[in-house]
Structure 1
Amino acid sequence: MSQLMVLRSPQANYFGTLPLTAQTRGHAVFEPTSDYWELREATRKFYADFAPFAVVHDIKTALKATLVWYAENSSLSHLKNLYYQSREFFHFKFDQTGVLVSEVTAADILNYKASLGKEKEWYVGVLSGLVRKWGALGYGGVSADAVILLKQLTLKGNRKGVATATRDPYTGPFTDIELEALQHALNEAFARKEVELSEYVLAWLVMTLGQRATQYAALKVSDVSKMIDSEGLESFVVRMPRAKTRDSDARGAFKERVLVPEIGRLVIEYAATVRERFRGVLPDIEKAPLFPKEQAEKNVEGYAYHSTAPHIGYILGKTLNRLHVVSERTGDFMNITPKRFRQTIGTRAAEEGHGELVIAELLDHSDTQNVGVYVSSTPAIVERINKTLAMSLAPLAQAFAGKLIAGFSEATRAEDPSSIIRAPSIINSFDGMSSCGKHGFCGFMKPVACYTCSSFEPWLDGPHEQVLEYLLVDRERLLSTTDARIAKVNDRTIYAVAQVVQLCNEVRAEQGPSL
């Protein structure tokens, strides 16, 4: 901890004393006298550049000294927020006056507040804490009326959970169809070796667990394990670091999360490859990060080669964005962030009837004060899908991934009669309707699961409209007799079948009437 002089009231001639070095609560060492701070904690990184600040030298010193106090006593995330909000404020005042800032006054605060509007009024709330601490530490540059004003102001807080509550199509939770489309595209890309094993494992862990990016960044290979019970049954567990924002130790506490066998086996296999990579590089390969960076950088002890939370978000976004999956709600490529998967986990849990305590446990919240939005935002009306709606949304959903063919003679496996797909329970006939281009065993239910498969080859004259009608009727039946989530399980398939019907209609229209 640096030794900073603390006075009872601001002194015009004292603007703080900057130590040569300081250390954040998370053990990042930096040089406060420099105009460029580089702070790296376990899974977090922050760069602060004070050179562009349009302030006089003494104000910059006092600001830095105040931020040093926050660095030593608060989280890196909070320090980062204070830095950016102070930068915005000083830029605003300089733009208004054209003169380097030499003092923060009550008039400055009120002018800044008026410029923000109600939606951004919370900016002043963040700035208020900084300015009041600045004055309490006894540094000059903050007028007495500014401190008095900020103590009296009632400020509107940052609205939380808006994207979740409104189901925002760009920043809120994914719909079931969007999530299924992402998962399907990810699996297909991995099968084509267009996605690395590390990217695939990270994406699936984010989609299934919905934890914060900083938690995945703190994972080590020793955190994933396989257990075999007395009956020989396998179970897979990931010991997830809690990495709480207010905790200086990202791995100070853990919660165990059970993985489904398909994902668990893959994670175990991937962890073994990471161990091999760090054999001879780290003295203990069990301490190797599960999702390492290529190069080691300046780290705190115990986190060599660990990624940062922003880097995890970048890898996830790069992996899934290049799949070019389109949202059926916007007709545009999906916006991918770890937070959206987290919102999706909470939203789906609420839709399944789970209460706030269960949702808080799933999302690793310490209390329930921030999970109420999931319960309150659960829609009371489940959207019904009729044929018209299915046909209109089908092009946006892009659920059909196969290839339309004229008939069996054009099939990839035209020499193999077993590749013919039939649906007697749906069309009341044993006649063929499509082909399967996949070589090898497939355990999915035909033909419902086929329409979203890339190996599916529907025939032009196949009874696809009958399949669509069957699925729509079955959905209505389930909606009235069972849980809504069960009724929606084939929604993406419905859009895929509707897309096939559209394609068939378009081809027939181009060919003209048959003789």
Structure 2
Amino acid sequence: MSKSAGRGHPSPASSLAAYVFQGPVQVAIRTRTNDQPRYVDTRLNVWTWYDGGVALKIDWAELDLTPEFNEIAKGFMAYALEKYAPQTAFMFVRSLVYLSGTNLARHFPWEHQNLIAHLDGFKRSRHNLIGFRRLYRWGLDRGIKGFDSSTYLKIKDVKLDRVDPYSRIFLSQTGLDLEEEVRLLKRIERNISSESWEEVQFNTVLHLGFELAPRSIQFHSLEISDFEFVESTDKNKYYTLWLPMAKKVGQRRPERRPRKVTTRLGDKISQHILEIQRRFGSNCEPLFVNSNGRRLSVTEIITGLKHELSEAGIDKPNQVTRLLRHHLGQGLADQGTPADMIAELLGHNSTVAARAYVTATPNIARIKEKALGKSPAYQRIMRSLLTGEVVQRRDTAAERAIRGVIDTQYIGDIGACALPVHTHCPYNPVYACYTCKKFHPFADGRHEQVKEALQREAQRFIDTAEQAGDLIHNRPLAQHQTTILAVSATIERCRQRTEGAADDAV
């Protein structure tokens, strides 16, 4: 068995020798479908594998690594391709590409202090840091010369500069509003000429996205055999789609879970299958194909869905399947579905994301919409109830200006207090100001800075509450959410005041 395959440990004597990659010639990779290559040829200068119909590559000549480290990198990538999902292995490629742009690529073994100095660059990207950490652990576990435990512990302790990908999910959910949902349903239910089978196909994709909200890779992986129906004695049909799970850790092939679909969608899929088998033969396996009968790639699926959403009058080009997933998740939560059930239906590995939908109740969602200034009636209410009039900074006495600390950050220049100068306010400055009639916001105040600081602090409440299992009955979090909404309303009022003044000047 070769060293690169990651089996066993070399002897102490061999660990002193330079590592040489000796195979395997073909690395078996995890595949989602039967029509994509299952092996990577390690004899080539460019290793290529596929996921979602898209080619993923690593060009060893372009990396420009030292000969010794190039051998180590090949061994690590052979191990990664066999052990991890294709996209995870490609994440390690991006880490190697970043490393090749540093002077670490010119010298190996690395000097301890030089390596530690470069960790600041790695920690700016989650992918780069995770990839480099796995590479170093892999080399250390195999006793390869140039890897030591003390340096690995330093690498392990490095924290990312960027926030965790889930860190603000509770404050950033998006979906479809009522008008957009109506337009989307009209797009789904429209009559389409049977001659335009590709248009019919993407109408089916859109309908499926609305009902089950699969990821693009799940659309790509669907087979005709994943669709089933049962006809009862009274001629009623019941349809099931065995949806491949996209993000289940440790599985070599996607697990499939049954999902019921409506009769309307089931009829569409049935007709679609008959049409593509008529066009491309009964041996056609993919459920969604291009004009040549080949499985649609994730890129083609996203492009087609973007077009469908655009035609429905939904202008959110950077959100496609994610938009539909958020909409389904929020809709389930609004109907009282528990977080663990939402996580199961959306194929999440944890309930972290699902809890965001549960906390965003319908009332809060409506308040958010109004707080962003979309309702003129609500704007009038906010002007009369939340704060005093918007004022200009230059017209305010300095001793009336409000300053405070949020999230350990000093913030000033947000507005003025109408209380007598020497009166002690019984409430916490800044936190309470945006719901106080005595507060007069500056038209050009730093309200965005206040909002960002409140969101960071609220996220810490969320993290702590989730660990304690008491996310729903968390009063500090509810207070922060109310304040954040009030700050958003103030930002909108200030914007309207500034634009109104500009119009008057013209």
The AA in structure 1 aligned to 2:66 is V
Q: Within 1, Cα distance between the matches of 2:263 and 2:69?
A: 58
Which residue number in structure 1 is paired with residue 338 of structure 2? 355
1:102 corresponding residue in structure 2:
108
Asked if residue 336 in structure 1 is aligned to residue 319 in structure 2, the reply is: yes
Deviation at 1:72, TM superposition (A): 1.4
User: Which of 39, 48, 52 pairs up with 1:29?
Assistant: 39
Partner of 2:262: 260
Gap change, CA 1:86 and 1:275, over 3 Å in 2 = same
Q: 2 CA distance for matches of 1:179 and 1:11?
A: 65
Counterpart AA for 2:18: N
Partner in structure 2 of residue 236 of structure 1: 239
- Distance between the aligned counterparts of 1:326 and 1:307, measured in 2? 23
Q: Which runs of 5+ in 1 are unaligned?
A: 297-304, 328-332, 394-515
1:66–1:137 CA contact under 8 A, matched in 2: no
Give the unaligned 5+ runs of structure 2.
32-36, 379-506
Aligned mates of 1:17, 1:132 — CA distance in 2: 20
Where in structure 2 are the equivalents of 1:366-385 lying within 5 Å?
367-378=350-361, 381=364, 382-383=366-367
Q: Aligned letter for 1:325?
A: G
The residue type paired with residue 67 of structure 1 is M
SS of equivalent to 2:143 = coil
Q: Does 1:39 align with 2:41?
A: no
Residue of structure 2 in register with 1:221 after alignment = 224
Superposed displacement of residue 66, structure 1: 0.8
Within the candidate set 136, 139, 154, 1:134 is matched to 139
Taking a change above 3 Å as real, the CA distance of residues 50 and 368 of structure 1, as seen in their structure-2 partners, is: same
User: Are 1:290 and 2:273 counterparts?
Assistant: no
The answer as to whether partners of 2:109 and 2:146 remain within 8 angstroms in 1 is yes
- Equivalent pair of 2:21/2:72 in contact (CA under 8 Å): yes
Q: Is the 8 A contact 1:227 1:234 kept in 2?
A: yes
Give the CA deviation at 1:34. 2.3
CA 1:326/1:293 → structure 2, altered by over 3 Å: closer, same or farther? closer
Structure-1 separation of matches of 2:166 and 2:182: 23
Tell me the SS of whatever aligns to 2:88. Answer: helix
Matching residue's letter, 1:111: A
The 3-state SS of whatever aligns with 1:87 is helix
Distance in 2 between the 1:15 and 1:149 partners?
26
Whether 1:160 aligns to 2:155 is: no
1:203 equivalenced with 2:209 (yes/no): no
Change (3 A) 1:212 1:121: closer
**Distance 1:389-1:56 versus aligned 2 partners, 3 A rule:** closer
- Give the aligned residue type for 1:259: V
Q: 1:380 to 1:112 in 2, by over 3 A?
A: farther
C-alpha contact 1:237 1:259 (8 A) present in aligned 2: yes
Give 1:246 deviation, angstroms.
3.5
Deviation at 1:44, TM superposition (A): 6.9
Q: Which has the higher helix share?
A: 2
**What amino acid is the match of 1:165?**
F
- Where does 1:448-467 land on structure 2 (aligned, <5 Å)? none
* Counterpart amino acid of residue 306 in structure 1: R
* Conserved 8 A contact 2:224-2:286: yes
Secondary structure in 1 matching 2:69 = helix
SS in 1 for 2:241: strand
Looking at structure 2, the residues matched to 245 and 308 of structure 1 have their Cα atoms a distance apart, in angstroms, of 20
Q: How far is the alpha carbon of 1:275 from its aligned partner?
A: 1.7
Aligned counterpart for 1:313 among listed residues 287, 302, 317: 302
Moved more, 26-35 or 67-76: 26-35
Show CA shifts across 1:432-456 (max 9, x none).
Answer: xxxxxxxxxxxxxxxxxxxxxxxxx
**SS of match in other structure, 1:371:** helix
Deviations 1:276-329 (A, max 9, x none): 12326x3xx5xx211124558xxxxxxxx43444443344335444x38354xx
C-alpha deviation, 1:65, in angstroms: 0.7
SS state at 1:40 partner: strand
Distance 2:234 2:274 in 1: 25
Q: Would the alpha carbon gap of residues 148 and 224 (structure 1) be closer, same or farther in structure 2, given more than 3 Å must change? A: closer
Residue pair 1:16, 1:139 contacting (<8 A) in 2 also? no
Question: Which residue type is aligned with residue 100 of structure 1?
Answer: R
- What CA distance in whole angstroms lies between the structure 2 residues aligned with 1:311 and 1:247? 27
Distance 1:183 1:101, change over 3 A: farther
- C-alpha distance in 1, partners of 2:334/2:145? 54
Report which stretch shifted further, 144-153 or 344-353: 144-153
TM-score relative to the length of structure 2: 0.61
1:19 to 11, 16, 24: 24
How far apart are 1:137 and its partner, in Å? 2.4
Rounded Cα–Cα distance in structure 2 between residues aligned with 1:19 and 1:226: 44
Query: Is 1:325 aligned to 2:335, yes or no?
Result: no
Note if contact 2:98-2:128 (Cα within 8 Å) is conserved in structure 1.
no
Q: Provide the residue aligned with 1:82 in structure 2.
A: 92
2 CA distance for matches of 1:189 and 1:15?
63
* TM-superposed deviation, 1:356: 1.2
- 3-state SS of 1:325 partner: coil
AA matched with 1:102: F
CA drift at 1:222: 2.7
Q: CA deviation at 1:109?
A: 4.7
Percent sequence identity over aligned pairs: 16
Contact 1:219 1:241 in 2 (8 A): yes
C-alpha distance in structure 1 between counterparts of 2:252 and 2:52, whole Å: 8
CA distance in 1, matches of 2:150, 2:107: 17
Instruction: Give the match for residue 365 of structure 1.
Output: 348
